[in-house]
Amino acid sequence: MKVVLEKVFPLAATVDNAWQLMQDIEAVAGCMPGAKITERVDATHYKGTITVRLGPAVMSFKGDIEVVDLDAAARSLHLIGKGADTSGTSAASMDLVAAVQASGEACELVGKSEVTMSGKAASLGGRLMGPVSEQMLKQFVANFATRLQGMQPQPGAVPASAAPGETGSQPQPQPHAVAPDPSPPPPELNGLALAWAVVRDWLRGLFSRKTA
């Protein structure tokens, strides 16, 4: 079963900060609930895991991530990930192309992903796979945006600089700090919670049409 998603998300951050974060593969992976980089093989190959809960069942996937292309001029990233459930009953793969584009003083995250699942995971997901994948993407972007906010200078922040005529001086503590890193995503992806979010959004749209 394959799902193709093409989305554009506005981000309240500069394009330079967004691109800086996008180049950090471990941080990007950490924005996906339940996902984690476990090993960096080399500059373009990683090993990782993602854990998904479907009611009482917990599925843990282990796989490989390849950075196919990292284009600084286009500020784009191309990743391919492949993995299998540790029980050997399911397999999944993802082909992702993402880019950040300037939009005024802020920027946009533009992405296209192809997600393919087979085995038990595909049979459990069924027709909900597409909507659930969209909810997963929304959670990922929300976490990505939160990390970006942690990179933005806070109002009143004073850049560190050496006094005139001094060289080799140590930077002095500043009265204002950059916002701390956000709380980590949940250790596992709750598939039923995502399914409920899909149903909730569908009901909201249904009643909106009736009252229009």
106-146 per-position pLDDT tens digit: 999 999 988 888 887 777 665 666 776 777 788 888 999 99
* Cα-only R_g, the chain: 20
Residue 153 backbone phi and psi in degrees, to 5: -60, 140
Confidence of residue 37 (pLDDT cuts 50, 70, 90): very high
On whether the CB atoms of residues 15 and 100 are closer than 8 A, the answer is yes
Q: What is the pTM of this model?
A: 0.69
CATH architecture of 2-153: 2-Layer Sandwich (3.30)
CA distance 178 to 154: 6
Give the tens place of pLDDT for each residue, 162-191.
445 544 444 444 443 334 444 455 554 544
**Tokens read off for 51:** 């854990």
Please give the angle made by the CA atoms of 118, 121 and 125, to the nearest 5 degrees: 110
**Tokens read off for 96:** 């992702």
On whether the CB atoms of residues 10 and 108 are closer than 8 A, the answer is yes
Boundaries of every domain in the chain = 2-153
CA distance 90 to 117: 7
